[in-house]
């Protein structure tokens, strides 16, 4: 059907109004609303473009006042940074925007989002982003695989209101999330959220370090603990004490407080509770359904909730994961300081002083049963068969099913000159890990190969499998070779 001359004229008028307005008033929010409204009223199909306001936790961008959709440009940079995990403890966090959790993103239902993901040139690893608010393959992950020093862009439309988690989904996915790659994106409903006095951003995460809780220094990631779901730390907003002392949340008596609560995981479910408060409203799982008068709400790994309450009396209110050892022994503890006039009818204050007796610190354990022994290969063919299983479980996500790797990120192991040149070096890479620049088949790679927690037998099997696939040299690697190399400190 042909567009009428009148319709074309109306559309042109709307575009002209919008563009003319931007020319004279790019920074005036009130003027922008007037311009956008005039353009929409005139029939323009061009949405006003807005640069997204992004904030670090515990801060939240301002509520959205506009009553029309917009094209919102979101620019999010990935950086790998060493930061404090606890007093005297540092950790190499992989971040969306330089901190854990990542930047808070606030958009409106019906908005069209132009999303830019930038991976800092100093990063060692490729990254992408899966936004649970996106309807599309991988939540955007399929379109945002971004090597260090690169930028990727994709568009999506915000179809469903709610509070959603975003996270990295690059292999190994669990490691990327465990290193802090998650955050929240709020899609406000068209009618907006009810007004409150204070809004805060709180996100839980579990961290897995080689050292025990409080062990000082720069702590490396521990895959064994992660696989067993035995975190060293469980914290709010990326570190022990991130919401205590001078960093505590604040409010005045009589104010309403809204907490946007997320759980990056990667493993644990949070039992979120504010000691001394009752949630007047909980938007369950970050959606549209509201529950009332709630004491503790479950927030699944990769999920969120919105809680609202009124601060009735002054005092310090403790935020916890009510799986309580996590709060008082692993770090999942924050503070809301409420100041203002007391109300003795609501809360009397102290009436009696009693002695508190701690329970002690003895660790109690049940005897462990022994795990069955792993199979041992008797022949080269048997070693190849067992090695295939090890490869599928541990190596395939990065190096791909045919050993082709991922260009600019993970080197190929098919027809690999690096592997075929030195078998002992290849054993050392698997046994000790590798960090730094290498050249494979004429191309440079500078990502991190984590140390794999494999037995000598498993390393011999997986390397024998690799060497007998995809045009490699066909040798058999033995457990004796692996033991000899493992006993030698890495030279890199």
For the stretch 394-429, pLDDT in tens is: 898 889 889 999 888 899 999 999 999 999 999 999
**Residue 2: pLDDT band with limits 50, 70, 90:** very low
| Sign of the torsion formed by the C-alpha atoms of 244, 248, 252 and 258 | negative
Domains defined along the chain, listed by start? 46-193 (2.60.40.420), 201-339 (2.60.40.420), 380-487 (1.10.760.10)
Q: Is 366 annotated as a binding residue?
A: no
Q: Would you call 182 exposed, middle or buried from its count of C-beta atoms within 10 A (0-12, 13-18, 19+)?
A: buried
What order do you get walking across the sheet with 333-339 strand by strand? 249-252, 333-339, 315-321, 270-275, 296-299
**Residue 353: pLDDT band with limits 50, 70, 90:** confident
How far, rounded to the nearest angstrom, does the alpha carbon of residue 126 sit from its chain's CA centroid? 14
Q: Is 168 annotated as a binding residue?
A: yes
**Residue 60: pLDDT band with limits 50, 70, 90:** very high
pLDDT at 32 over 60: no
pLDDT at 5 over 70: no
What is the predicted pLDDT for the residue at 41? Answer: 44
- Residue 18 or residue 256, greater confidence: 256
pLDDT at 334 over 60: yes
Residue ranges of alpha helices (H) inside 134-252 are: 173-178, 223-228
Q: Is 176 annotated as a binding residue?
A: yes
Pairing status of strand 182-188 against strand 104-108:
parallel
Tokens of 466: 């690799």
On the CB side of 115, CA atoms within 13 Å amount to 27
What is the predicted pLDDT for the residue at 9? Answer: 47
- Which of 9-18, 205-214, 378-387 is the least confident region? 9-18
Instruction: Tell me how crowded residue 218 is: count the other CB atoms within 10 A of its CB.
Output: 12
Which pTM value belongs to this model?
0.82
DSSP state of 247: G
- Average pLDDT rounded to a whole number, residues 373-388: 90
| 106-161: pLDDT as tens digits | 999 999 999 999 999 999 999 999 999 999 999 999 999 999 999 999 999 999 99
Q: Name which of 297, 284, 81 is nearest 181 in CA terms.
A: 81
What is the predicted pLDDT for the residue at 198? Answer: 98
CA distance 245 to 324: 20
CA distance 256 to 196: 5
CA distance 203 to 239: 11
| 269-323: pLDDT as tens digits | 999 999 999 999 999 999 999 999 999 999 999 999 999 999 999 999 999 999 9
Q: Is 132 annotated as a binding residue?
A: yes
pLDDT at 44 over 60: no
Q: Is 118 annotated as a binding residue?
A: no
What is the predicted pLDDT for the residue at 42? Answer: 41
**Residue 372: pLDDT band with limits 50, 70, 90:** low
């Amino acid at each position: 059907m042909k567009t009428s001359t009148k319709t074309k004229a109306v559309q042109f008028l709307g575009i002209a109004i919008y563009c003319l307005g931007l020319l004279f008033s790019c920074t005036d929010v009130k003027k922008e609303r007037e311009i956008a409204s005039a353009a929409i009223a005139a029939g323009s199909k061009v949405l006003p473009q807005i640069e997204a306001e992004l904030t670090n936790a515990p801060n939240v961008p301002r509520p959205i006042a506009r009553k029309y959709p917009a094209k919102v440009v979101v620019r999010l940079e990935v950086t790998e940074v060493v930061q404090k995990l606890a007093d005297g403890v540092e950790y190499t966090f992989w971040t969306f925007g330089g901190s854990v959790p990542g930047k808070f993103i606030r958009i409106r239902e019906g908005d069209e989002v132009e999303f830019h993901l930038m991976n800092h040139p100093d990063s060692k690893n490729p990254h992408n982003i899966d936004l649970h608010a996106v309807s599309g393959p991988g939540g955007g992950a399929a379109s945002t695989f971004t090597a260090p020093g690169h930028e990727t862009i994709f568009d999506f439309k915000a179809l469903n209101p709610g509070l959603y988690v975003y996270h990295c989904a690059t292999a190994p996915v669990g490691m990327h999330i465990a290193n802090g790659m998650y955050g929240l994106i709020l899609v406000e409903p068209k009618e907006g959220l009810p007004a409150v006095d204070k809004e805060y951003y709180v996100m839980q995460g579990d961290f897995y370090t080689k050292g025990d809780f409080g062990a000082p220094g720069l702590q490396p990631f521990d895959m064994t603990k992660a696989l067993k779901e035995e975190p060293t730390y469980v914290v709010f907003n990326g570190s022990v004490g991130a919401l205590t002392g001078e960093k505590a949340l604040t409010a005045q008596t009589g104010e309403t407080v809204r907490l946007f609560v997320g759980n990056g995981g990667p493993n644990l479910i949070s039992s979120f509770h504010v000691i001394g408060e009752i949630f007047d409203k909980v938007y369950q799982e970050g959606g549209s359904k509201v529950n009332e008068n709630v004491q503790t709400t479950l927030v699944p790994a990769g999920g969120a909730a919105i809680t609202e309450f009124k601060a009735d009396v002054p005092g310090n209110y403790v935020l916890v994961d009510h799986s309580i050892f996590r709060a008082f022994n692993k770090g999942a503890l924050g503070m809301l300081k409420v100041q203002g006039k007391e109300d003795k009818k609501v809360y009397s204050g102290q009436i009696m002083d009693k002695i508190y007796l701690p329970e002690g610190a003895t660790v109690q354990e049940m005897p462990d049963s022994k795990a069955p022994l792993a199979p041992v290969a008797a022949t080269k063919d048997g070693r190849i068969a067992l090695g295939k299983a090890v490869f599928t479980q541990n190596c395939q996500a990065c190096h791909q099913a045919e050993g082709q790797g991922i260009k600019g990120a993970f080197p190929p192991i098919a027809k690999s000159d690096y592997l075929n040149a030195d078998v002992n070096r290849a054993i050392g890479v698997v046994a000790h890990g590798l960090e730094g620049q290498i050249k494979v088949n004429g191309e440079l790679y500078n990502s991190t190969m984590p140390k794999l927690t494999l037995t000598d037998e498993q390393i011999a099997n997986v390397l024998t499998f690799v060497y007998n696939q995809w045009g490699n040299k066909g040798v058999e690697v033995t457990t004796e070779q692996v033991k000899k190399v493992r006993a030698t400190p890495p030279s890199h």
